[in-house]
A = this chain, B = another copy of it.
C-alpha cells in the first residue's frame, strides 16, 4: 500500500479525509499539529483517535502563539459565538482565521513528505460551508500544488511529483457526514469545537487553557462557535444525529 500524509486534527473534516484516503487505497500517516491552539484538547483527542484507528502519526510542534493574531492563538481575541449563517457567509475572514496556518501546515507536511518519502498529502479543507478562510480556496491549493512541485529534493532528484488531495473541497458538511458514515467513521470520537468547555465552567470555575490529558477528558464542545454550528448544521441537513456532546445544544 502506498503511504499518504493526512493533515489530521481529529475533527470531522480531517477524520473523514483520513477514511477517504484509506478508501482510495492509501496507508495514512497522520500529521497532527500542536500549534498553541486554544482548543489544544484536540491534539490529545487526535492522538487517541489515531491510536484507536491504528494509524501511525507524527506530532509537529509549531509556535503560532508568538505571532498570534487569531482567536485560536491569542487569548485577547474572542471566539465568535452564535453567528447566523448569513453572518458567517457575509462576515469576511473571521477572527478564527489563523494567519498563514494552512501554508505553515502544508510547508511542514512537505518536510515530512521528504523525510518519510511520501508522495501524497491529504487535507480536509472545504470551500463550501465556510468560505471565509483565504487558505481554503481552490486557487490557493492550486498555487501550493505548483509550489510543492518545485520545493523539494525528491522532485528535483527523483522527478517525484508531490500531490495534494483535498477530497472535501467541494462538499457540503451534510455530504461530508454522509460520506464519512458510509465509510464507517464513528463521529463520536471526533472533536470540532474551537472553544472547549468543562462542565464545571458553568458553575463559575473557569477551566485552564492547557490541560493534562486526564483533565482534557472532561471537556465538552461549546455548541456555539462557528465550528460547532457548522458541524450541527451538517448533521441536521444530513438528517442524522450528531453524537457530540454540547454545552449548548
Q: Is A181 an interface residue (CB 8 A)?
A: no
Question: What is the distance, in angstroms, from A117's C-beta to the closest C-beta of chain B?
Answer: 10
Of all chain B residues, which has the CB nearest A62?
B62
Question: What is the distance, in angstroms, from A169's C-beta to the closest C-beta of chain B?
Answer: 15
Of all chain B residues, which has the CB nearest A34?
B63
Q: Is A135 an interface residue (CB 8 A)?
A: yes
Considering only residues 83-124 of chain A, those with a C-beta below 8 Å from chain B are 92-93, 97-104, 106-108, 110-112, 114-115
Count of A interface residues, CB-CB < 8 Å? 46
Interface SS of chain A: helix, strand, loop or mixed?
Answer: helix
In the complex, per-residue mask of A67-92: 1 if CB is within 8 Å of any chain B CB, else 0? 11100000000000000000000001
Of the residues B103, B106, B151, contact of A134 by C-beta under 8 Å: B151
Residues of B within 8 A of A52 (CB): none
**Interface pair A157/B111, CB less than 8 Å apart:** no
**Interface pair A115/B146, CB less than 8 Å apart:** no
Q: A111-B69, A112-B67 are contacts. A134–B156 as well, Cβ < 8 Å? A: yes
Using a CB–CB distance below 8 Å, which chain A residues touch chain B? Answer: 58-64, 66-69, 92-93, 97-104, 106-108, 110-112, 114-115, 134-135, 137, 139-140, 143-144, 146-147, 149-153, 155-157
> Could you list 20 further interchain pairs (A-B, Cβ under 8 angstroms) beyond the known A99-B114, A106-B107?
A61-B63, A62-B62, A62-B63, A67-B115, A93-B156, A93-B157, A98-B111, A99-B110, A99-B153, A100-B114, A100-B152, A103-B107, A103-B111, A103-B151, A134-B150, A134-B156, A135-B150, A143-B149, A144-B147, A147-B147
18 pairs of residues in contact across A and B, judged by CB atoms under 8 Å: A61-B66, A62-B63, A67-B114, A69-B111, A93-B156, A97-B153, A98-B111, A99-B110, A100-B151, A103-B111, A104-B107, A134-B150, A134-B151, A135-B152, A140-B150, A143-B147, A146-B146, A147-B147
